[in-house]
C-alpha cells in the first residue's frame, strides 16, 4: 500500500549530478512510497547501461559541440537531452510497481495541455503518431525506477546529428537504439512549455495516485558530488563491458592501411594492421604502440606520436577519430 507521494525537483542541468541525485533518491526511498523526480540536462547524450558509445553516437560531433556523454543505470537506447526536454523519474518499491499508473500520469499531464497521448509497445509514448517520450527501467534490491524524456522544444537537428554514428565498418554486439519519428509537444499545443509540463506532471501524479504529494528537501550536496564522480568517470562511460570488433581502412599518400582490433572495457586487447606502405615497419609500430591502449583520443595520440613520424601519426589518428574517438 502506498502511504506517501513525494516530489523532487532540481535546477541542476549537470547530467552527472542529476544521475547521482536519481540514484540517491532510489537508495533512500522509504517503504510504501513513490517519488516523482523532475530534472533537465544541458546538451547531453545519454546512453543505456549496455550500449556501445562508439556505435550509438557520433563521437566527433559530440566533441566538436562540447556535448556531454553520460551512461545511465537503465537499459534502452541513446537519447539527447537539452533544455527543451523534461526528464522524469518514478521511484518505487516493487510491490507498488504499477506501470499503468505511471504511464497514466504522463498521459494525463499531456491531456492538461490538450494533447492526446498513446503508448507504443513498452517504452515509447506517442502523440499524433510520433514519439515524444522514450522510457527505460531499472530494478535492484526490491525497488525500481522508471525514467524517460518528454520532448517539449528540443533541437531535433542536433538530436539527429549526435545520435547518428559515422559510417564505418563496425560490427557491434551491444544494444542499438531503434530510431523513431519524433515530435516536440510544443508543435501540438502552445501551452506545452517546460514549466507547464512540470506543473501538469505534479498535478497528474497526485490525481492518478489520489494523494497529495510532499516536496522532498534538497539532497546533501556532498553526497551528490561524491556519487557524480562515478557517473563522470571515463571508465564507467566508455569502459563498459560491451564486446565489439572494429575494422577501418583508408588510403594515404604513403600507402593504404587497414586496421582490425578487438577491445574489452574500452581497452585495445588485440590489433592487426595491414598496409601496402613501402615502409614495412609502420604496421608493427602501430600494433606495438596501441596494444593495451585506451580508446581515448589523448591516449591514442600520445602512443602514435611516440612511435611514428609525426605526419604518419597524424594520418593514423585522423582515421581513428573518424570511427572511434
Q: Convert the pLDDT of each residue in 215-250 to its tens digit.
A: 999 999 999 999 999 999 999 998 754 445 677 888
Decide yes or no: CATH 3.40.720.10 for domain 4-238: no
Rounded distance between C-alpha atoms, residue 297 and residue 295, angstroms: 7
Least confident residue range of 8-17, 257-266, 290-299: 257-266
User: What fold characterizes domain 244-323?
Assistant: Enolase-like; domain 1 (3.30.390)
Inter-CA distances, 200 with 30, 113, 122, 126, 280, Å? 25, 8, 22, 17, 67
Neighbours of 237 (CB within 10 A): 17
Average pLDDT over residues 146-175: 74
The helix, strand and coil proportions of the chain, stated in percent and rounded to the nearest 5, come to 35, 30, 35
Average pLDDT over residues 5-19: 97
Whether 177 has a pLDDT exceeding 70, the answer reads no
Q: Where are the domains of the chain?
A: 4-238, 244-323
Type and span of the H or E element at 222: helix 221-231
Whether 169 has a pLDDT exceeding 50, the answer reads no
- Is-contact 125 111, C-beta < 8 A? no
The three-point CA angle 248-251-254 to 5° equals 125
Whether 261 has a pLDDT exceeding 90, the answer reads no
- DSSP annotation of 266: T
Least confident residue range of 30-39, 88-97, 111-120, 260-269: 260-269
Q: Which residue(s) pair with 85 in the sheet?
A: 151
**22's grid cell:** 536519481
What is residue 194's predicted lDDT score, i.e. its pLDDT? 98
In the sheet that holds 79-81, the strands lie side by side as 68-71, 44-47, 79-81
What is residue 240's predicted lDDT score, i.e. its pLDDT? 53
SS3 104: helix
Average pLDDT over residues 134-146: 92
SS3 214: strand
Share of the chain above pLDDT 90, in %: 65
Q: What average pLDDT is seen over the chain?
A: 89
Whether 68 has a pLDDT exceeding 60, the answer reads yes
What is residue 232's predicted lDDT score, i.e. its pLDDT? 97
Q: 203-219: per-residue pLDDT in tens? A: 999 999 999 999 999 99
Q: How confident is the model at residue 124 (pLDDT cuts 50, 70, 90)?
A: confident
- Is-contact 101 208, C-beta < 8 A? yes
What is residue 305's predicted lDDT score, i.e. its pLDDT? 97
Amino acid at each position: 500500500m502506498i502511504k506517501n507521494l513525494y516530489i523532487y525537483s532540481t535546477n541542476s542541468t549537470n547530467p552527472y549530478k542529476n544521475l547521482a541525485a536519481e540514484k540517491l533518491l532510489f537508495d533512500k526511498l522509504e517503504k510504501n512510497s513513490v517519488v516523482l523526480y523532475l530534472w533537465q540536462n544541458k546538451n547531453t547524450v545519454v546512453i543505456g547501461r549496455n550500449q556501445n558509445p562508439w556505435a550509438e553516437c557520433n563521437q566527433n560531433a559530440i566533441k566538436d559541440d562540447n556535448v556531454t556523454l553520460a551512461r545511465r543505470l537503465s537499459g534502452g537506447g541513446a537519447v539527447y537531452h537539452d533544455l527543451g526536454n523534461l526528464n522524469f523519474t518514478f521511484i518505487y518499491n516493487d510491490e507498488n510497481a504499477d506501470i499503468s499508473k505511471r504511464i497514466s500520469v504522463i498521459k494525463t499531464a499531456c491531456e492538461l495541455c490538450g494533447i492526446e497521448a498513446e503508448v507504443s509497445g513498452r517504452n515509447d509514448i506517442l502523440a499524433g503518431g510520433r514519439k515524444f517520450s522514450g522510457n527505460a527501467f531499472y530494478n535492484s534490491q526490491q525497488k525500481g525506477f522508471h525514467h524517460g524524456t518528454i520532448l517539449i522544444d528540443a533541437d531535433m537537428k542536433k538530436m539527429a546529428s549526435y545520435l547518428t554514428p559515422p559510417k564505418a565498418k563496425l560490427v557491434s554486439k551491444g544494444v542499438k537504439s531503434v530510431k523513431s519519428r519524433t515530435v516536440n509537444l510544443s508543435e501540438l499545443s502552445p501551452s506545452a512549455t517546460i514549466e507547464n509540463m512540470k506543473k501538469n506532471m505534479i498535478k497528474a501524479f497526485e490525481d492518478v495516485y489520489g494523494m497529495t504529494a510532499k516536496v522532498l528537501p534538497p539532497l546533501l550536496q556532498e553526497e551528490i558530488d561524491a556519487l557524480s564522480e562515478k557517473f563522470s568517470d571515463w571508465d564507467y562511460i566508455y569502459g563498459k563491458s560491451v564486446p565489439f570488433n572494429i575494422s577501418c581502412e583508408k588510403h594515404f599518400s604513403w600507402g593504404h592501411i587497414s586496421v582490425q582490433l578487438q577491445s574489452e572495457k574500452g581497452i585495445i586487447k588485440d590489433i592487426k594492421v595491414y598496409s601496402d606502405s613501402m615502409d614495412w615497419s609502420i604496421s608493427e609500430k602501430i600494433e606495438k604502440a596501441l596494444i593495451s591502449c585506451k580508446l581515448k583520443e589523448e591516449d591514442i595520440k600520445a602512443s602514435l606520436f611516440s612511435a611514428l613520424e609525426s605526419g604518419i601519426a597524424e594520418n593514423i589518428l585522423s582515421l581513428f577519430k573518424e570511427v572511434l574517438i
